[in-house]
Structure 1
Amino acid sequence: MVKPGNDTESDPLFGEKRRRARTRIPMRYLLPNVITVLAICAGLTGIRLAFENRFELAVSMVLLAAFLDGVDGRIARMMKGSSKFGAQMDSLADIVNFGVAPALVLYAYMLDQARSFGWIAALLYCIACCLRLARFNVMLDVTDKPVWQGNFFTGVPAPAGALLVMLPVYLGFLGMAPTRSIAFAAAAYTVLVAVLMISRLPVYSGKSASLRLRSEWVMPTFLFIVGYVAFLMSYTWETLTLTTIAFFLLLPLSYRAWRRYEAADAAALAAKDAPGTDAVS
């Protein structure tokens, strides 16, 4: 006699179980998630290398994790392999790669000399990164906003925050000795980056679908990208330091662009509500 619940044809769920067992997941769904897992592995390896005092490799692994984390979503969209599971994996990877890994690498390199202040700064940065990512996920569901607002992030995005917060490490590789006084300054700087991440400061995203280059700027843009990558490979820490400074300099420009869009919207609304502007039928 067959016992109830056995995986046989007498089981009313037998057909459903066989269908699930035979379900095949397309590779286009698997590949982006594999890249996300590799990004998490790179970020965690960076933490291990930092506590082994192999800091240049540690920072390189964190930057590799950030690169892989940025690539997986684009590959998923390109291959039409986006999924809810992948979106959740990507969010968890962001917390590790852009929050935990940079904070612990910076702490092991310098912030530990500031004792509790350094640890508190690292904690605040990690928490700010989590809050930033949670707000970003929630704002994805907001649909009743002007189209132009899609060109801006609210607050410094997590990948940029990871790049910015490791500026003291770049400077250390360039010869700045990580003394205790510099460690306290680095702790204050870390808190500043955390505040920028959870702030309402508009930051240009560069993801506008309508972004177009004039034909005469195509070749110079190619040359700039090739030159930047070449400098990044040859003068890594100098290039990352200059990139961080350039990002800070672009923040006021992003704010000014946001204000111009807001002023244009206000002017359009005022013109629409003005008397005598109704169309005559």
Structure 2
Amino acid sequence: MKRPPVFNQPIFRPGRVRRPRRPHPRLKGLSINHLLPNVLTVLALCSGLTAIRFAIQERWEPAVIAIVIAAILDALDGRIARLLNGQSKFGAELDSLSDAISFGVAPAFMMYLWGLNGAGSLGWIAAMAYAVCCALRLARFNSRLGVVDLPPWAYNYFTGVPAPAGAGLVLLPMTLGFEAGPDWIGHPVVIVPWTLMIGGLMVSTLPTFSFKGARVPAQWVVPALAGVGLIAAMMVSQPWWTLSIIGLAYLATLPFSILQFRKLQRAAELMKGEIVEPVPAEDAPAEAGTTPGETAKPL
């Protein structure tokens, strides 16, 4: 009996074994632990971009508030990532890109529109120099990720002023101008060198307190919490004076951080110098009552 032509196709040939189809690989998703810090970083980026929008509209107070919110979110995302064990290289890179915009580009843009444009090309150079210094500071920080070559006593120090603190310091004339008036504090003669100085502090090698490993003694826990409540009340009633005082207080800690770092460095060097290497047996001093060539006799 002749087989129909359809059975002469290759798939119906005798002895041919059909291979089962391979299942499609399932895409591995991200857990909430890894996603939540990145969400906070994106929100910080959005807050920095919103500050630029407010600056274009010359709404300076909401612009400063947007930068403050970005700084708070930036402080939270890293700590939440460590608490949830959600650190990743993607999150670290995203955080640096967000910081470059929120604490580098946005404050420079705000300062230029607020007062630096009165200095012409020099004001633009100052704004651009600050933004470039912020990017360089973040690039230097990223290049040191995963590199552990610092001594144990230097864990509580940054190299240079961090990006969020630099943004707060460069906006300090603006926050003071909200209360004292922008006539003198916003003059280009004042804010041009100020912007250049803050940019230089960000790329400097000066040791600055990081406050990440700071511990509050037990007897100071209640006063510290009361101080936090006082600062919150001041932020509600006098926000611009409070932000200005916080910025000036941080600036005043820089000399103390340098002195403390050098003190710890000298103490570490002295400890290294006090380490005595073991003396070989043939060079060891002879026991009391014996000559160098003799050994003590047992009693």
Residue aligned with 2:90, SS: helix
C-alpha displacement at 1:243, in angstroms? Answer: 1.1
Among 12, 34, 40, the alignment partner of 1:29 is 34
Contact 1:111–1:183, Cα closer than 8 Å, also in 2: yes
TM-score (norm 1): 0.87
Q: CA RMSD in A?
A: 2.4
Q: Which residue of 2 aligns with 1:19?
A: 26
Residue aligned with 2:26, SS: helix
Larger Rg: 2
Unaligned runs of 5+ in 2: 1-8, 10-17, 285-299
Q: Which residue of 2 aligns with 1:75?
A: 80
Equivalent residue letter for 1:48: R
C-alpha displacement at 1:182, in angstroms? Answer: 1.2
Cα deviation digits, residues 198-226 of structure 1 (max 9, x gap): 11111011112xx4332211110111111
Distance in 1, matches of 2:247 and 2:147, equals: 30
Distance 1:181-1:103 versus aligned 2 partners, 3 A rule: closer
Among 154, 158, 163, the alignment partner of 1:153 is 158
Structure with greater proportional helix content: 1
Distance in 1, matches of 2:19 and 2:241, equals: 70
Contact 1:28–1:81, Cα closer than 8 Å, also in 2: yes
Q: Which residue of 2 aligns with 1:197?
A: 202
C-alpha displacement at 1:269, in angstroms? Answer: 1.2
Q: Which residue of 2 aligns with 1:141?
A: 146
Q: Which residue of 2 aligns with 1:102?
A: 107
Distance in 1, matches of 2:20 and 2:200, equals: 58
Distance 1:241-1:26 versus aligned 2 partners, 3 A rule: same
Distance in 1, matches of 2:67 and 2:276, equals: 52
1:199-218 to 2 correspondence within 5 Å? 199-208=204-213, 211-218=214-221
C-alpha displacement at 1:71, in angstroms? Answer: 1.0
Cα deviation digits, residues 128-184 of structure 1 (max 9, x gap): 101111111222333232111111001111111011000110121113224698123
Distance in 1, matches of 2:20 and 2:127, equals: 55
C-alpha displacement at 1:84, in angstroms? Answer: 1.6
Unaligned runs of 5+ in 1: 2-8
Distance in 1, matches of 2:142 and 2:102, equals: 17
Equivalent residue letter for 1:56: E
Distance in 1, matches of 2:120 and 2:185, equals: 9
Q: Which 10-residue stretch deviates more, 174-183 or 261-270?
A: 174-183
Residue aligned with 1:263, SS: helix
Distance in 1, matches of 2:84 and 2:54, equals: 34
Contact 2:115–2:186, Cα closer than 8 Å, also in 1: no
Percentage of pairs with the same residue: 42
Residue aligned with 1:272, SS: coil
C-alpha displacement at 1:25, in angstroms? Answer: 2.0
C-alpha displacement at 1:274, in angstroms? Answer: 7.4
Residue aligned with 2:180, SS: coil
Contact 1:110–1:178, Cα closer than 8 Å, also in 2: no
